[in-house]
Chains A and B, each alone.
Chain A
Amino acid sequence: MTSAQLRGRDRTARISLYAVLVVGLLFVVGPFVWMALAAVKPEREIRAVPPTWLPETWTLDNFRELFTRLDFPTYFVNSTLVAVLVTVGNLMFCSLLGYALAKLNFPGRKALLLIVLGMLMVPGMVLFVPQFVLVSNLGLANSYAGLVLPYLAGPFGVFLMRQFLLSIPDDLIEAARVDGAGEWRIFWRVVLPLCRPALATLGILTFLSSWNNFLWPLVVATTEDKYTLPVALALYSIGENRTDYGLLLAGAVVVVLPVLVVFLVLQRHFMRGIATTGLK
């Protein structure tokens, strides 16, 4: 095969690869673009046959209705509050235990590691009935504490932090010890600053999964003032309002937009985290 032929083959391959990828991207990203465009159309135009692509009339009415017919500010605050608390809790508790499991030698360590990692296999569906019984017996049903507590200390974070900490040389910690630093000081001043990449990954993953969490808030939040965004949107959209597309699509935009921003800004961390841990 001459090099010219080879280059010709490469060009055909390249063009067909691009064609496949672009069509794929249209199928995946298209619905999001469609959603955003429809959200700024009036209801009549949303339902037009044949459909319009760009809005003929631009309107923010659908978004305005989120505030008047639904109480979106409350849901937004709830979602944010829960996600922030869950994220901070996981960063704190998981790095503490991750450090202990990776770098400290204490009785019970191996058993603890096995139990925590074993819990990675337990599906949410097994947990939620007894968790609900527990939370309601503690008097925490329909409260922020009830929404947050079961998610503050997740096994995945421990796994991620421990894996990362194993790669930090013991010598660093040992040297600080010889220098006379106490354990807490070592953790806070030496270990945590080195953990920044792992903490970033864990923080993003936890925030997003909490923001998108559905089953637990659906079960725990029973009055509207405790709904999170996904719960409010889902309950509204499976009621008799299921074809109220303008409002629903605007709501979907509000649910997706913060995630989109976080994801796009931090996608490098994100992809690295996924590829190295193999978990959502």
Chain B
Amino acid sequence: MSGPTTTVVDAKPAAPPRKVGDRPAKRASKWRRAVTGWAFATPFTALFLVFMALPVVASLAMSVTDLRSTDLRNPLAVNFVGLDNYTRLFGDELFVRSAANTLVFVVVGVPLTMVLALAAASALNSGLIRFRALFRVGFYLPVVTSIVAIAVVWRFLLDPEAGLVNNLLRLVGVDGPAWLGNTDTALPSLIVMAAWRNFGFLMVIFLAGLQGIPQHLYEAATLDGAGRWQQFRNVTVPLLRPTLLFGAVVTGIGFLQVFEEPFVMTQGGPLSSTLSVSYHIYNQFGFGNYGYAAAASYVLFVAIVALSVLQFRLLGERD
């Protein structure tokens, strides 16, 4: 046999395909189908149940207990505390602070990322441009790069003394701040860095969306005398709306969980000005407060689900 594909193609005219539920073999095949199906499904499902499904449920269970790292060997010491962890969260000054920071991150970061991505995608979608692959790959580079490596480079760029940014500012006679060491500039610096890192991903998605818009709509708009900006506003944006919304939600979900940027750039400082919810969860985990950390992670989860539901609502309205 030279190869499976040729055999299949050859066999086709000789034997007409049989429907899965053909009568004569129905009894035997029902059982066999179950065995076959689960034979294929079991390896994944077993791993998945133990390492993903179980932890999700366990997390919810933990969040209503006072489980601490020291209790792992002694499960009897764990107490059910009801919703105490959840109520405690909202009196926890650091959690409230982290929630506010995270919200700023999302509210400022998402539009910034979207604008950069849409600008890049529109420019690349224009028929006037060549070397598209070069630009696309270049803009995408930070997305595939380790955040830790990016953090090293950006900390170096933003260094108050040796950094390129302040060196360039000095050329025009401006004394740049200590970007990451200053409570006013640390969070904005991280947001700009996150937008810089992520916009390439949205750009690729927007580009695919733009290519789905029929060209004749632009031709019609041109005949009607619409300029480029008008075409963008009245053709591109409305037709791209579902893609834009999808992009906003995906980016929003990502930024809601922001952890790596503050961890490697500022360790949440200075003075908790860049502490995020995820970072707070990580810290509580580090202190051994597992139950409390689980509760905080479920609050974050609810925020993420709410954002997704909002997306479906907004999309549903349109269709």
Contacts and interface: CB of A to CB of B under 8 A. Distances in A.
Given A20-B119, A174-B17, A193-B5, A255 B55 contact: no
Contacts, number: 316
A28 interface: yes
Interface-central residue, B7, B62, B171, B200, by most chain A CB under 10 Å: B7
A263 interface: yes
Interface string B119-146: 1100110101100010111111111111
A150 to B, nearest CB: 4
A190 B5 contact: yes
A216 B62 CA distance: 19
Interface in B32-65: 33-34, 36-41, 43-45, 47-48, 50-56, 58-59, 62
A20 B146 contact: no
A276 B207 CA distance: 11
A242 B164 CA distance: 17
B55 A127 contact: yes
A22 to B, nearest CB: 9
Interface-central residue, B18, B38, B55, by most chain A CB under 10 Å: B55
A245 B54 CA distance: 43
A189 interface: yes
Interface string A264-280: 10010011001110101
Contacts of B118: none
B33 A25 contact: no
B144 A127 contact: no
Interface in B138-197: 138-157, 159, 161-162, 164, 167, 170-171, 196
Interface residues of B, number: 104
Interface string B273-286: 00000100110010
B287 interface: no
If over half of A's interface residues share one DSSP class (helix, strand or loop), that class is named, otherwise mixed; here it is helix
B318 interface: no
A153 interface: yes
A127 B7 CA distance: 46
B300 interface: yes
A191 to B, nearest CB: 9
Interface-central residue, A34, A46, A125, A176, by most chain B CB under 10 Å: A125
Given A51-B164, A51-B167, A93-B43, A105 B33 contact: yes
Contacts of B144: 208, 212, 259, 263, 270
Interface of B: 4-5, 7-8, 11-12, 15, 17-18, 20, 33-34, 36-41, 43-45, 47-48, 50-56, 58-59, 62, 72, 119-120, 123-124, 126, 128-129, 133, 135-157, 159, 161-162, 164, 167, 170-171, 196, 200-201, 204-205, 207-208, 228, 246, 250, 253, 256-257, 259-260, 263-264, 267, 278, 281-282, 285, 290, 293-294, 297-298, 300-301, 304-305, 308
